[in-house]
Chains A and B, each alone.
Chain A
Amino acid sequence: MAVVDLPQWLALAPALLLAATALVLFAFDSINPHTTNRTLFAGTTVVGALASLAVAVWYAAAGVGATGIENYGVIDIMGGQFVVDQLALFFMIVVAVVTALVAVASHDYLRDHAYQAEYYSLLALAATGMSMMAVSNSLVTVFIALELTSLPSYALVAILKDNRGSVEAGLKYFLIGALSSAIFVYGVSLVYGATGSLQLEAIAANLDAAGEMGGLLGLGILMLIGGIAFKTASVPFHFWAPEAYEGAPAPISAFLSSASKAAGFVLAFRVFTTAFPLEATTAVIGVDWTWAFVILAIVTMTLGNFAAATQENVKRMLAYSSIGHAGYVLIGLAALSTPSGDLVMGAAMIHLLVYGFMNTGAFLFVGLAEYWGVGRTFEDYNGLATQAPVACAAMAVFMFSLAGIPPFGGFGSKYLLFSHTIEAAAENTALLAAAAALVINSTLSLYYYSRLVKALWIEEPLRERDALATPTGLYAAIIAAAVVTAVILAAFGPIADVATEAAAAVVG
């Protein structure tokens, strides 16, 4: 019903806009390599991210890629190498939102940094990779998008070159990332060997061909899971996360723990629903792969939460909490063996969207604390609310939302996840254990989240502090994230519709 028929490739516009932003930043830098006009660079990145966000929202609202009678259906690009559907657009929105928030906050965080243009162009490139992960529909494009995300990320983690922690974190992240990339590629090659295809639908169609090589295919799938576990910071490739998040500049920690995790999950959702339809795959490899995710989900959320509860360093606590949340989202894959699998997956997607606001905001608050130079532990944060009540109120919103306390967004998404998992548990009782683990871990998580609120609001400061500055960019990003976290529950109706439809379309 469009007045003008746009060319098909324009469906990739949200990702292309991010790529263009990176190129524009390169151009600025090559014209004047010595400029450190951070407002220009941050501004350009924000504009690019917001443009990407606007286009993605517009597409999603207009029904681009939606399946249904009045829509054109899923858009295939380059012979099915890329695909734009509602699932892709949903995650492009998440990536664009986080990128915009991070870019706004970085404006102040990197005020004395020498390599402004490099930072923002790497950020835009990584965001492009994440956006491409949402649309990749072949194991080749998946891997390219994965690397396009990873390589700039390594550099971003280590960008504070004079800071030992940052460099060390970058190296660890790089080594584990390289290992997991290798495992992922090996998995890709095994899948190719077994099915003779890389394009996801073609793999699904050729699963029978694997025949006697079922074991090989199973091993390949297991390795793919490993690569995904790295990107989403899930067990067993989670251990880089605390180190990398702690050492990285806080806005980059926010970026990696929110956007990169979401991108890893969209990849998992797409690969496992499209390439390895459950029944056909089980027939070939002899194992139901949802079991892997049931176990990973429970182990990941439990490990993340218990580790988070013992931390003294706020950033490490958030890093482990981020692992815990990956565990919650993994239920979205674990429940795919049941008829209500699409509902659970939709709920997991909503959780990632809400997480994009609340977790980004929380890390940006840590960024603000680093900007103030108050220290890193819970004790160092004591009594900050007397000096900066607005930022601390926002942080309280993030913490309670992460813990799943009403009326914040995190309650809504966890509730959806819980409620649908219970529904799914009627078909697969193992999911009852996952739902119980979700509730128990959520309750436990209140301990360490509220501990931070207590430090900020209730405890007295350990030592006298000078007056705290109010950097505009950081404050703007934190407040924006807090406002959305606080009111998003009101808008859950349409969000849930979009997410559930998007999930139903790929689950089929």
Chain B
Amino acid sequence: MMIEALIAVALIGALVTFVAPNRIAGKLAFAISLVPAALSLWLFGAFDGSGNALRGGELAFESQAAWLEIGDYSISWFVGLDGISLPLVVLTTILCTLAIVSSWTPIDERESQFYGLVLFIEAMLIGVFSALDFFLWFVFWEAVLIPMYLLIGIWGGPRRKYAAIKFFVYTNVASLVMFGSFVALVFGLGDVTSFALPEIATAMLEGGPDGLFGLSGTTLASVVFIGLFLGFAVKVPIVPFHTWLPDAHVEAPTPASILLAGVLLKMGTYALLRFNFTMFPDQVETYAVPIAAIAVISVIYGAMLALAQTDLKRIVAYSSVSSMGYVILGLVAYTQFGVGGATFQMISHGLISGLMFMAVGVIYNATHTRMVTDMSGLADRMPIAVGVLIAGAFGYMGLPLMSGFAAEYFIFFGSFGSELLSYSAAFTSLAMFGIVIVAGYLLFALQRTVFGPYRLETDYEVGRAPAHDVASLIVLLGLVILLGVAPDLIFDMITDAIDPIVQGGDL
């Protein structure tokens, strides 16, 4: 019942905050969000699961109750955590709390609605990562869209309406493709009697679908694999489906960007791992080369796009495209380190991109500009915030002892020697080159904005960053370093859950 408690606290908290007076909403939401954060840390400590949730592993905090029957299929409330989903739940609760703190300064209208929506999103995200019944999972998956649409649309920048509707349409159409594909798969699997993901995964491994509407079983599986991949690719996002991301990020208020980059993108990669890479091992093998190619293109192209930007937030936004490319590369390598590293990168990127967006937000709050060309020498005025920003940038570049290094090292280590992926060495080398570009654009941007003589084109007085912002930045930086120094904190449980998928493959 622990997962239900987490979701319920966030959901009830959302309702309470929604009707609370604007004046106290921020502090109230912060206090409420501490409960799921603390609970999820307790879950982390008390975790007793083993194996993969979809491969007959021992689930932690499992609970299941019959919900409804649709013809021959039963749907149930089925939640539980394994080594893949638990770290993501913890990431969600921590980032939500920090996102709330980082909203105290910039959000100055309709506060109670804002914080209510953030808590609502938190509840739905926990649901996405813990649901193990497709129908239930899809309900949470889609329910994330509405609050994010409103967060961008109401509290966003000048082009917020366009960005919000673009985000909504892109991701909703993608969901539809994904949903249709998966339902077709379930109908095609003759002997499945429920929407429970473990049952479907088992049926997929033991023979796969019988066929549907004249398609043979293997064709159906391939069509569904591609449909799901396209559906999730938009969410991740993978080039060429990434165009909604910079718009959404640039227009979104800082806290929404933190959640978007930190957690919402991980929904896509998490779903890819849970569906495509767990249920369709044969198709993964068939399509490994094109997927790896897309991954490498995402890495390089995303980084090049970032290089061309002059808006700090856009730079950080495009760098997400590049980082997500690494995740896809790790997944398609299909080795313990590759998939494990990809999962580790989800967490690591969640923390680092959260950190970067938060730091950019703090700078924007003080200077009211995000343009690289408008400012220089900020290190003089806001030493701590800028220091954390630089540390975060190095985390992105993969400086050893930070989580980014561990994540990218695992991925490259895993993908270089992949047996499933042809030309794996070539793909890996190309992707590694991406790091050089990452270092290039980050250092170039930092050099112009934070170093050199102090100059600001706008006439705002720039002082020290507020204490609560600095505190949350330091918490995030601490977590990045902690995972960099001791990746085993989560990597052990991740590999434990990955092993059944890659069957303990090489490396």
- Complex Cα gap A446–B172 (Å): 10
Task: Decide: B139 and A457 in contact? CB cutoff 8 A.
Answer: no
Instruction: Report B21 CB to chain A, min CB distance, Å.
Output: 12
Interface hits, B128-146 → A, CB 8 Å: 135, 138-143, 145-146
Contact of B70 among A405, A407, A496 (CB under 8 A): A496
Question: Given the complex, which residues of A lie within 8 Å of B143, measured CB to CB?
Answer: 405-407
Question: Given the complex, which residues of A lie within 8 Å of B86, measured CB to CB?
Answer: none
- Complex Cα gap A490–B139 (Å): 11
Task: Decide: B18 and A393 in contact? CB cutoff 8 A.
Answer: yes
Q: How large is the interface on B (under 10, 10 to 19, 20 to 34, 35 or more residues)?
A: 35 or more
Q: In the complex, which residue of chain A has the Cβ closest to the Cβ of B72?
A: A423
Question: Given the complex, which residues of B lie within 8 Å of A450, measured CB to CB?
Answer: 149, 165, 168
Task: Decide: A443 and B18 in contact? CB cutoff 8 A.
Answer: no
Task: Decide: B66 and A493 in contact? CB cutoff 8 A.
Answer: yes
Question: Which of the segments B153-161, B285-293, B406-414, B492-500 contacts the partner chain?
Answer: B153-161
Task: Decide: A457 and B71 in contact? CB cutoff 8 A.
Answer: no
Contact digits for A126-155, partner B, Cβ 8 Å, 1 yes 0 no = 000000000000000000000000000000
Contact of A400 among B146, B153, B183 (CB under 8 A): B146
Cβ-based interface call for A376 (8 A): no
Cβ-based interface call for B48 (8 A): no
Q: In the complex, which residue of chain B has the Cβ closest to the Cβ of A389?
A: B113
Question: Given the complex, which residues of A lie within 8 Å of B172, measured CB to CB?
Answer: 405, 443, 446
Task: Decide: A416 and B70 in contact? CB cutoff 8 A.
Answer: yes
Contact digits for B45-71, partner A, Cβ 8 Å, 1 yes 0 no = 000000000000000000000111111
Task: Decide: B142 and A405 in contact? CB cutoff 8 A.
Answer: yes
Question: Given the complex, which residues of B lie within 8 Å of A407, measured CB to CB?
Answer: 139-140, 142-143
Instruction: Report A456 CB to chain B, min CB distance, Å.
Output: 10
- Complex Cα gap A499–B145 (Å): 31
Q: In the complex, which residue of chain B has the Cβ closest to the Cβ of A495?
A: B68
Given contact pairs A443-B176, A458-B154, A489-B139, A419 touches B165 in the complex (Cβ within 8 A): no
Contact digits for B249-286, partner A, Cβ 8 Å, 1 yes 0 no = 00000000000000000000000000000000000000
- Complex Cα gap A454–B153 (Å): 8
- Complex Cα gap A439–B172 (Å): 13
Most buried by B among A396, A416, A453, A457: A457
Contact of B138 among A406, A420, A422, A439 (CB under 8 A): A406
Task: Decide: B150 and A458 in contact? CB cutoff 8 A.
Answer: yes
Given contact pairs A454-B153, A457-B153, A340 touches B71 in the complex (Cβ within 8 A): yes
Task: Decide: A443 and B173 in contact? CB cutoff 8 A.
Answer: yes
Instruction: Report A399 CB to chain B, min CB distance, Å.
Output: 10
Task: Decide: B71 and A343 in contact? CB cutoff 8 A.
Answer: yes
Given contact pairs A406-B138, A407-B139, A419-B71, A386 touches B110 in the complex (Cβ within 8 A): yes
Cβ-based interface call for A492 (8 A): yes
Instruction: Report B140 CB to chain A, min CB distance, Å.
Output: 7
Instruction: Report A409 CB to chain B, min CB distance, Å.
Output: 11
- Complex Cα gap A405–B145 (Å): 9
Task: Decide: B71 and A385 in contact? CB cutoff 8 A.
Answer: no
Question: Given the complex, which residues of A lie within 8 Å of B168, measured CB to CB?
Answer: 450
- Complex Cα gap A393–B110 (Å): 13
Instruction: Report A221 CB to chain B, min CB distance, Å.
Output: 29
Question: Given the complex, which residues of A lie within 8 Å of B71, measured CB to CB?
Answer: 340, 343, 419-420, 423
Question: Given the complex, which residues of B lie within 8 Å of A492, measured CB to CB?
Answer: 67-68
Task: Decide: A458 and B139 in contact? CB cutoff 8 A.
Answer: no
Question: Given the complex, which residues of A lie within 8 Å of B66, measured CB to CB?
Answer: 493
Instruction: Report A331 CB to chain B, min CB distance, Å.
Output: 15
Cβ-based interface call for B164 (8 A): yes
Task: Decide: B183 and A419 in contact? CB cutoff 8 A.
Answer: yes
Interface hits, A408-462 → B, CB 8 Å: 411, 415-416, 419-420, 422-423, 432, 439, 443, 446, 450, 453-454, 457-459
Q: In the complex, which residue of chain A has the Cβ closest to the Cβ of B152?
A: A458
Contact of B164 among A386, A406, A458, A489 (CB under 8 A): A458
Question: Given the complex, which residues of A lie within 8 Å of B161, measured CB to CB?
Answer: 454, 458-459
Question: Given the complex, which residues of A lie within 8 Å of B187, measured CB to CB?
Answer: 422-423
Question: Given the complex, which residues of A lie within 8 Å of B110, measured CB to CB?
Answer: 385-386, 389
Q: In the complex, which residue of chain A has the Cβ closest to the Cβ of B15?
A: A393
- Complex Cα gap A84–B466 (Å): 69
Cβ-based interface call for A279 (8 A): no
Q: In the complex, which residue of chain A has the Cβ closest to the Cβ of B145?
A: A405
- Complex Cα gap A389–B164 (Å): 20
Interface hits, B158-182 → A, CB 8 Å: 160-161, 164-165, 168, 172-173, 176, 180
Instruction: Report B120 CB to chain A, min CB distance, Å.
Output: 10
Contact of A439 among B135, B160, B180 (CB under 8 A): B180
Contact digits for B420-464, partner A, Cβ 8 Å, 1 yes 0 no = 000000000000000000000000000000000000000000000
Cβ-based interface call for A497 (8 A): yes
- Complex Cα gap A32–B505 (Å): 88
- Complex Cα gap A411–B179 (Å): 13
Most buried by A among B112, B142, B183: B142
- Complex Cα gap A497–B69 (Å): 8
Question: Given the complex, which residues of B lie within 8 Å of A390, measured CB to CB?
Answer: 18-19
Interface hits, A368-417 → B, CB 8 Å: 385-386, 389-390, 393, 396, 400, 405-407, 411, 415-416
- Complex Cα gap A415–B172 (Å): 15
Instruction: Report B303 CB to chain A, min CB distance, Å.
Output: 33
- Complex Cα gap A489–B135 (Å): 11
Task: Decide: A411 and B139 in contact? CB cutoff 8 A.
Answer: yes
Q: In the complex, which residue of chain A has the Cβ closest to the Cβ of B113?
A: A389
Q: In the complex, which residue of chain B has the Cβ closest to the Cβ of A447?
A: B169
Question: Given the complex, which residues of B lie within 8 Å of A422, measured CB to CB?
Answer: 183, 187
Q: In the complex, which residue of chain B has the Cβ closest to the Cβ of A340?
A: B71
- Complex Cα gap A396–B145 (Å): 13
Question: Given the complex, which residues of A lie within 8 Å of B180, measured CB to CB?
Answer: 439
Instruction: Report B11 CB to chain A, min CB distance, Å.
Output: 11
Instruction: Report A480 CB to chain B, min CB distance, Å.
Output: 15
- Complex Cα gap A493–B66 (Å): 8
Task: Decide: B146 and A419 in contact? CB cutoff 8 A.
Answer: no
Task: Decide: A389 and B18 in contact? CB cutoff 8 A.
Answer: yes
Task: Decide: A493 and B68 in contact? CB cutoff 8 A.
Answer: yes
Contact digits for A471-498, partner B, Cβ 8 Å, 1 yes 0 no = 0000000000000000001101100110
Q: In the complex, which residue of chain A has the Cβ closest to the Cβ of B155?
A: A458
Question: Given the complex, which residues of A lie within 8 Å of B142, measured CB to CB?
Answer: 405-407, 411
Contact of A458 among B160, B173, B183 (CB under 8 A): B160
A-B contact pairs, 9 of them (CB 8 A): A340-B71, A405-B143, A405-B145, A407-B139, A439-B180, A457-B154, A458-B150, A458-B153, A493-B67
Name B residues whose Cβ lies closer than 8 Å to a Cβ of A. 18-19, 66-71, 110, 112-113, 135, 138-143, 145-146, 149-150, 153-154, 160-161, 164-165, 168, 172-173, 176, 180, 183, 187, 213
Task: Give me 5 other A-B pairs in contact (C-beta within 8 A), A343-B71, A390-B18 excluded.
Answer: A389-B19, A390-B19, A450-B165, A454-B153, A492-B68
Please provide the 10 A-B residue pairs with the shortest distance between their CB atoms, ordered closest to farther: A493-B68, A406-B139, A458-B153, A406-B142, A492-B68, A407-B139, A407-B143, A496-B68, A406-B143, A458-B154
